[in-house]
């Protein structure tokens, strides 16, 4: 029972980056909570952040081969641009949950389209860091 959490570009700045949009919690705060939650559920979890599209793709490709059952991904700005991340996720057989801290549908039009949603089994937006916790609960309930 293994889950991979991927955070895309600029999410390393959480806590100080537009806190009115993304909240005051740091990425470390969020990941620490997820590690705790996963441990309670008896799941193995890895949380990774990258500012590089290719590194996110490498991590998704590695998850195909190492028994990862689910990927929880906040692709950040790559959500709206990356056919390559969509293709990598399409090659992954497990569950995919897409998470956005903010409600992207309430924001600029360019944030309304998600390539990743063409693959995601579930999408959570606008719940802040609670979205990751809800996604992990859903994965572990499976
Ligand atoms: C985001 C929304 C994206 O539009 C934006 O580029 C991000 C974060 C979110 O979590 O709300 O970097 O994915």
Q: What is the ipTM of this complex?
A: 0.99
Q: Which of 7, 100, 115, 132 is catalytic?
A: 100
| Distance of CA 120 from the midpoint of ligand 1 (Å) | 16
Q: Which CATH superfamily is domain 2-141 in?
A: Dehydroquinase, class II (3.40.50.9100)
CA 56 to CA 75: how far, in whole Å?
9
CA 138 to CA 123: how far, in whole Å?
11
The answer to whether 22 is a known catalytic residue is yes
Task: Note the pLDDT tens digit of each residue in 115-124.
Answer: 999 999 999 9
User: Which residues is 73 bridged to in the sheet?
Assistant: 6, 98
Question: What does each C-alpha distance from 120 to 29, 43, 70 come to in angstroms?
Answer: 25, 21, 11
Residue of 102, 106, 126 best suited for mutating to test ligand 1, as the one with most atoms within 8 Å of CB? 102
Residue 142 has pLDDT above 90, yes or no: no
CA 99 to CA 101: how far, in whole Å?
7
Task: Note the pLDDT tens digit of each residue in 76-110.
Answer: 999 999 999 999 999 999 999 999 999 999 999 99
Is the CB of 1 within 6 Å of ligand 1? no
**Is residue 87 annotated as involved in ligand binding?**
yes
CA 113 to CA 133: how far, in whole Å?
23
Is the CB of 129 within 6 Å of ligand 1? no
The answer to whether 132 is a known catalytic residue is no
């Amino acid at each position: 029972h293994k889950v991979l959490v991927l955070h895309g570009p600029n999410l390393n700045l959480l806590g100080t980056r537009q806190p009115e949009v993304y909240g005051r919690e740091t990425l470390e705060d969020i990941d620490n909570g997820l590690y705790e939650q996963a441990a309670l559920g008896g799941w193995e979890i890895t949380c990774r952040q990258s500012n590089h599209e290719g590194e996110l793709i490498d991590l998704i490709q590695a998850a195909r081969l190492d028994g990862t059952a689910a990927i929880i991904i906040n692709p950040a700005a790559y959500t709206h641009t990356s056919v390559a991340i969509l293709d990598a996720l399409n090659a992954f057989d497990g569950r995919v949950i897409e998470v956005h801290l903010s409600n992207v549908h309430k924001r600029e039009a360019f944030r309304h389209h998600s390539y990743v949603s063409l693959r995601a089994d579930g999408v959570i937006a606008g719940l802040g860091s609670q979205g990751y916790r809800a996604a992990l609960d859903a994965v572990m309930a499976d």
